[in-house]
Amino acid sequence: MEALQATFTLPDFGRWLPSMVALAQQTPIRPSALKPIHAALIAPFLSGLAIGAGTDAVRTQVTAVGSPEEAIAARMLAYGYCSHYFSGTDVPQLPQEPSSPAFQQYTLVASCAIGHAPLLLATLQVIVGDTVPALTLFEPVQGAALPHMAERNGRSVPGVIGELRRFSVNPLLEVKPALPDDLLHSILRNYRRLLYCKLYERSLQIFDAMRTHFVYGIATPEIYRFFTRSSMIMRPLASMRLAENTEVRALQTAFAGYWRPHAPPEHQPALYRIHLPADQRATHSFEP
């Protein structure tokens, strides 16, 4: 785990934090059922500011299974995804995903410290194994093979594959200042991008140490632009299409804001290959 801990700086984060907290407290929450989750994510920062000044230092790490940080990361993900995309009629919540012996899941988090408590700012999930969850949602077009089964030296070599997914940030980093041209708009955008870059760097260490040769990622057009502007190289997989199964239909109904089932295909989420830099391989150690 130690190899996956690193620190970096969010410029002037401590100075801007009081304004971010104040705006977050004024943010209208929709659907209203998400209010308790929003309050729980904001409260530690509010309490922290009462006992000490904010800091610009941020740490990235892999959370331990069952740890408080892992639970907070799950709460952050649920709030972010549901507040942006939920379109169902039930209480908004992410669908439960069964665990599988076919892959391992690692939760990366970025946290800052106010007073003595580490406070989570962002999270990212890394999947590594024989298969990945994305392959339950996308399938090859007729006659095509799964992309990671590409021919190597005349023979099929599946190897270990991965998936990078579910980047989410604390609602503090998505507050909206009153004026569209407020400096805080661009500062928050840069914070989100820097947080993603640093979590992505940590994910490369895991992929490298686990000898992952092919990484999948699902993205909407907007998320694709964010990822590529955040230094990640990804290529659409034209041989893969959205699967026709019960799970996909349920997601399209509950999260139509993300899946856009009635939009043209070019406006819907697609499956991508995330390219691993060649110079990152065989250079890191990682103990799961």
Domains and CATH numbers, the chain: 2-280 (3.40.630.30)
Q: What is the pTM of this model?
A: 0.90
Per-residue pLDDT of the chain (288 residues; tens, 9 = 90+): 344 578 999 999 989 999 999 999 999 998 899 999 999 999 988 887 766 666 799 999 999 999 999 999 999 999 999 999 999 888 888 887 767 889 999 999 999 987 666 799 999 999 999 999 999 999 999 878 899 886 454 555 567 999 999 999 999 999 998 876 789 999 999 999 999 999 999 999 999 999 998 999 999 999 999 999 988 999 999 999 999 999 999 999 999 999 999 999 999 999 999 998 753 443 444 444
Instruction: Give how far the C-alpha of residue 231 lies from the chain's centroid of Cα atoms, to the nearest Å.
Output: 15
User: What pLDDT, on a 0 to 100 scale, did the predictor assign at position 1?
Assistant: 39
Residues 6+ apart with CB under 8 A from 19: 184
Report the distance separating Cα 237 and Cα 98, nearest Å.
26
